[in-house]
């Protein structure tokens, strides 16, 4: 009877190979291999069964291990691919990394997002930090590009994204009304409205510190930053101009309250020289010091600064770099007065000019000191400034 049963019973089907077992639950076809007649099984069959069970369990464990390993590998590769994509996208218009990009991206160190306000592109770089929470508002630095260039170019040249990652603030790079145009639109009411709308948009999209919004720029963007801060003193706490002087002085608001200003001036800049050189420098400093209009003659010298200190020692590329500061009359005016050995209109940075200071870091340090100084003002003085 037992022999007959052995002859008529079908042969076992091939069992799945160890590497193919992914599930931790055996299927119905697998379970039948676990049934046997205990009363008729001999020692040999039991040893075979034990070996079989060991193989089965080993295969299952190996399959589980492979499954988890495969999932981990897939997850790791997906994260690596995502990180690579993010790095590539961070090589974008916000200048987070030194290459071209797509305009909208998520970087490993921050996020760059493009917005459109009044038909004009605006790129916003938001830094990322593990401790960052929605309840911590961020200061804002608006950076304006110069003539015949664009926002991505100044983002890359200035390196402000790197400084923003370290100091935790938003960096904003808006375009001119005419992209890569010759100049910003001085005196046009729509230009003032654009900057007001820009800050309003930032307040809607991000948690910003509205009392710490700053503006700066290079070349014609520097002149425009001074102009905008003069017309919107309640919006922008301080301004900085890099390789640019006061432009369109006739359109300035002479009743605007005093505000902190930083001027970065290369005395061997061919563009500045073409627009008046030292005469323009004197006129700009006197204007920013709020010296009376009738004294704004180009031949008049610059008032003696309260402070003068060296920033850099002379080098093969730098003749000198001094920090000048006027504490009175208000506002506090600081000037980085420097000169390169070779003519240059570039944004000052060690990458552009070996041995140079980093203008973005100098500007942020100035803005930080302006914010601290404002916070230390008596309440009456602060309220009076807001009323003006």
For the residues 77-87, what does the mean pLDDT come to?
45
Give the chain's largest Cα–Cα span: 127
SS3 340: strand
Structure tokens at 25: 């639950």
Contact 146, 217 (CB under 8 A): yes
Exposure letters 114-129 (e unless 16+ CB within 10 A, then b): bbebeebbbbbbbbee
Q: How confident is the model at residue 45 (pLDDT cuts 50, 70, 90)?
A: low
For the residues 166-195, what does the mean pLDDT come to?
91
Q: Would you say residue 220 has pLDDT above 90? A: yes
Structure tokens at 270: 């061919």
For the residues 190-216, what does the mean pLDDT come to?
94
Contact 361, 367 (CB under 8 A): no
Provide the pairing of β-strand 261-266 with 120-127.
unpaired
Per-residue pLDDT of 375-384, as tens digits, reads 654 544 444 4
Q: Which residues fall within 8 angstroms of residue 365, CB to CB, at 6 or more apart?
A: none
Structure tokens at 290: 């709020």
As a whole number of angstroms, the distance between CA 323 and CA 307 comes to 8
Radius of gyration of the chain (CA): 34
Other CB atoms closer than 10 Å to residue 135's CB: what's the count? Answer: 6
- Least confident range from 44-53, 323-332, 335-344, 360-369: namely 44-53
Q: Which residue has the tokens 């009743």?
A: 255
Per-residue pLDDT of 300-320, as tens digits, reads 778 888 889 999 999 999 999
Contact 357, 311 (CB under 8 A): yes
As a whole number of angstroms, the distance between CA 41 and CA 37 comes to 6
Q: How confident is the model at residue 251 (pLDDT cuts 50, 70, 90)?
A: confident
Structure tokens at 293: 């209009």
SS3 182: coil
């Amino acid at each position: 009877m037992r022999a007959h049963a052995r002859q008529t019973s079908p042969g076992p089907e091939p069992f799945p190979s160890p590497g193919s077992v992914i599930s931790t639950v055996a299927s119905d076809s697998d379970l039948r291999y676990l049934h046997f007649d205990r009363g008729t099984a001999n020692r040999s069959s039991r040893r075979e069964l034990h070996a079989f069970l060991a193989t089965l369990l080993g295969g299952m464990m190996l399959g589980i291990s492979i499954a988890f390993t495969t999932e981990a590998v897939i997850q790791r590769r997906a994260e690596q691919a995502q990180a690579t994509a993010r790095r590539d996208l961070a090589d974008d218009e916000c200048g987070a990394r030194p290459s071209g990009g797509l305009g909208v991206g998520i970087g490993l160190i921050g996020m760059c997002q493009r917005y459109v306000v009044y038909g004009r592109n605006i790129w916003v770089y938001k830094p990322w930090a593990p401790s960052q929470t929605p309840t911590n508002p961020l200061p804002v630095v608006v950076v304006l590009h110069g003539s015949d260039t664009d926002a991505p170019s100044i983002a890359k040249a200035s390196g402000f994204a790197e400084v923003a990652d370290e100091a935790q603030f938003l960096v904003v790079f808006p375009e001119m009304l005419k992209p890569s145009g010759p100049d910003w639109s001085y005196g046009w009411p729509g230009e003032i409205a654009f900057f007001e709308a820009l800050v309003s948009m930032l307040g809607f999209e991000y948690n910003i510190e509205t009392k710490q919004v700053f503006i700066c720029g290079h070349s014609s963007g520097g002149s425009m930053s001074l102009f905008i801060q003069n017309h919107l003193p309640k919006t922008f706490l301080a301004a900085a101009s890099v390789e640019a002087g006061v432009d369109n002085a006739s359109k300035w608001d002479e009743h605007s309250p005093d505000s902190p200003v930083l001027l970065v001036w290369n005395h061997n800049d061919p563009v500045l020289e073409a627009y008046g050189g030292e005469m323009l420098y004197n006129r700009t400093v006197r204007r920013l010091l709020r010296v009376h209009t009738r004294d704004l003659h180009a031949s008049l010298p610059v008032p003696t600064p309260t402070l003068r200190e060296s920033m850099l020692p002379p080098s093969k590329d730098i003749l000198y770099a001094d920090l000048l500061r006027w504490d009175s009359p208000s506002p506090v005016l600081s000037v980085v007065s420097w000169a390169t050995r070779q003519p240059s209109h570039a944004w000052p940075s060690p990458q552009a000019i070996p041995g140079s200071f980093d203008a973005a870091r100098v500007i942020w340090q100035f803005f930080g000191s302006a914010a601290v100084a404002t916070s230390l003002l008596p309440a009456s003085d602060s309220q009076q400034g807001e009323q003006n």
